[in-house]
Chain A
Amino acid sequence: MEHNPSQLAQASKVDVPDIQFVGVTKRFGNVAAVDNVDLSVESGAFFSFLGPSGCGKTTSLRMIAGFEQPTEGNVYINGQSVVGIPPHKRHVNMVFQQYALFPHMDVADNIGYGLRQRAPRPSKSEIAKRVDETLELVRLEGYGNRRVWEMSGGQQQRVALARALINHPTVLLLDEPLAALDRKLRREMQIELQTLQRDVGITFVLVTHDQEEALSMSDQICIMNEGRIVQTGSPRDLYDDPVSRYVADFVGKSNFFEGDVVDVNAGSYSIKSATGQVFSGFGSKGAPALVKGGKASIAVRPELLSIGSADGGNIDADVKILGQIKNRIFLGEHTEYLVECEGLGEVLVLSPKHIENIRGTFEPGASVTLGWMNDIALALGD
């Protein structure tokens, strides 16, 4: 490739974010698809919008691409406002969900499409050279003359990537790019996308509803709900310090014990559940403080729960609750138990293999004790 990451990094000043939203709102009729959003995407980052369908993530992406214009606020690409600028004049490219490859062109013509739109138009040999280089980049050497419909889903995906990357965009936009692939291929492409992003040094902005996809690939994740940003942070931040129950539920799995806040003590909260039990947990970093008398949940990740026999003697925990095993799934490296706890609902427990080897497993129907340490429990508002 004629470009290299360091050149690109120099070209776009490091301190100017590649993408910036300032007070961006997009309304369709009376519905605000995106509602007063501020965000910035640093140069060279792998940034993901994560959320359920209708949360505004795709609309945000389409505003970066130029297919939608904000109703209010400003969108900046590389420090320049792009409001009112049509897509063909923006230096960003998109990989479409269903790839949107041109069916009347072969693979090489699809990939070279962006270069052919340039003024002045590069020479035929120049385009052919760049197309070959890009085919190599996405590991499709020799496929230039293929018809796009002769390619498998994964190959079409690479062609779509190549068609966007050949233009060296400031930002590459990916709209649910892996949704159409089967599970195994999706896993491979996740790794490949990550590697590719590091190799080319281009900022990637991904839209997905799949938390695993977002967690495994991104540097930064922006979780959206109903047009607003709920939380932005690294995958680890979101997992360890979710600001609300919504985030904790969306990123990874979690158990929630609901109740009323009965005591507030320096970032730690006590919550009394319907059963009368009192649980305590820490407030999350960056989360709004909870008020006494309000509703809240104590969140405990399934892998941080211990499971032991009904007498409760063999586990080391601050809090212990009783339950009965409803279901057990053996997953190899760990066993997943679904435990029915009276008054508290179903609780999910992930028990690692090395612990099982020592303590043994529990049969469905068995009475068990679940326990956890107070310092791993989070107190979260909705």
Chain B
Amino acid sequence: MTDNKKGSWLTVALLTPTSMWFLFMLVMPMIVVVIFSFGERSAVGGYVASFTFDQYANLPARLKAFTNTLTFAPIGTFLSLIIAYPLAYYLAVKVDRRWRLLLLVLVIVPFWTSLLIRTYAWIFILGGRGIPTLLEFIGLEGIRMINTPFAVYVGIVYGYLPLMVFPIYVSLEKLDKNLLEASNDLGGTPWRTFMQVTLPLSMPGVATGCMLVFILLMGEFLIPAFLGGGKIFFLGNALVDLFVQSRNWPFGSALAVTLVIIMVVTVSLYMRLTLGGKNGRDQSLM
């Protein structure tokens, strides 16, 4: 930058909009939230300036929301992964080129409708007159699906699957197919070829997909509210409740700050585990 004045001027000009966006839309709101979290709730709700740790001391009151989020988010991510991987593999490796684009579009199509409406639809599918009624025909009576953890997981996998499929698809699609033939040629059975070549080389996609789904799940509130029937509360639900219903902004802010800290810690640990270390080059390509 120092060598070329014109170049450095251009760099600054190009970076300014982004920097401004980050500053006003991300950094400043975060600062506001942090300041609020040390304040107090006024009698009519909202925020009164103060400096107290009371809100943080009060966090155990919402312990269930923490444990729920930290259970459903990782398990939901894992379920999405094991369902998305075979699908992505099929799309990237197995399917005839002619059909590939069509099938990829089909994976995205649900995104064209609001998640709210699609999740609402699941209430009917899993509700009393949906799948349980069908199961009664084959003699399985009294199975309840809606308002159970099962329903929440169904909603999670359904809503987040494309976010998992695409990064994995991309990393499998750019995988050099000669490598698979080479492994096969050297005596590797199809299964061992998958375990030793395909899977390790698709790890960047797996890591990206898991990260996307996990981070978004940590803030999820729609799916548990609709499909968990008010019994399964995530941190997202607690935040909606605190900011919108009970108008306890300082406590809500303390919760939000804690959520951000948990996310930063888990995601950086995860990145360390999957992206760091000896496979540095290939995986930095993601």
Contacts and interface: CB of A to CB of B under 8 A. Distances in A.
Interface of A: 65-67, 86-88, 92-94, 96, 98, 100-104, 113-114, 117-118, 147, 149, 163-164, 167
Interface in B188-202: 188-190, 192, 196-197, 200-201
Interface in B164-210: 176, 178-179, 181-190, 192, 196-197, 200-201
Interface in B233-286: 279, 281-282
Contacts of B182: 94, 96, 100-102
Contact of A96 (B181, B196, B281, B282): B181
Contacts of A118: 187
Given A94-B181, A98-B176, A117-B188, 5 more contacts: A87-B184, A88-B185, A100-B179, A113-B183, A117-B192
A147 B187 contact: no
Given A96-B182, A98-B178, A103 B187 contact: no
B181 A149 contact: no
A101 B192 CA distance: 16
B185 A93 contact: yes
B21 to A, nearest CB: 36
A288 B279 CA distance: 60
B183 to A, nearest CB: 7
A65 B187 CA distance: 11
Contact of A113 (B181, B186, B190, B200): B186
Contacts of A86: 184
Interface of B: 176, 178-179, 181-190, 192, 196-197, 200-201, 279, 281-282
A88 B279 contact: no
Contact of A104 (B184, B185, B186, B201): B201
B201 A87 contact: no
B187 A88 contact: yes
Please list the 8 inter-chain residue pairs (A to B) with the smallest Cβ-Cβ separation, ordered nearest first: A117-B187, A100-B178, A114-B186, A100-B182, A87-B184, A117-B188, A94-B185, A104-B200
- The residue in A66, A93, A100 that gathers the most chain B C-beta atoms within 10 A of its C-beta is A100
B181 A100 contact: yes
A113 B182 CA distance: 10
A100 B184 CA distance: 12
B192 A102 contact: no
A117 B185 CA distance: 11
Contact of A87 (B178, B185, B192, B282): B185
B178 A167 contact: no
A100 B82 CA distance: 28
A106 B222 CA distance: 47
Nearest to B181: A67
Nearest to A175: B178
Contacts of A100: 176, 178-179, 181-182
A86 B190 CA distance: 10
Query: Which residue of A88, A93, A149 has the most chain B CB atoms within 10 A of its CB atom?
Result: A88
Chain A CB count within 10 A is highest, among B178, B182, B183, for B182
Contacts of A104: 200-201, 279, 282
A103 B189 contact: no
A148 to B, nearest CB: 10
B178 to A, nearest CB: 4
A62 B279 CA distance: 31
Contacts of B185: 65-67, 87-88, 92-94
A118 B192 CA distance: 11
A87 B180 CA distance: 11
B248 to A, nearest CB: 50
Contacts of B178: 96, 98, 100
Contacts of B188: 88, 113, 117
Contacts of A92: 185
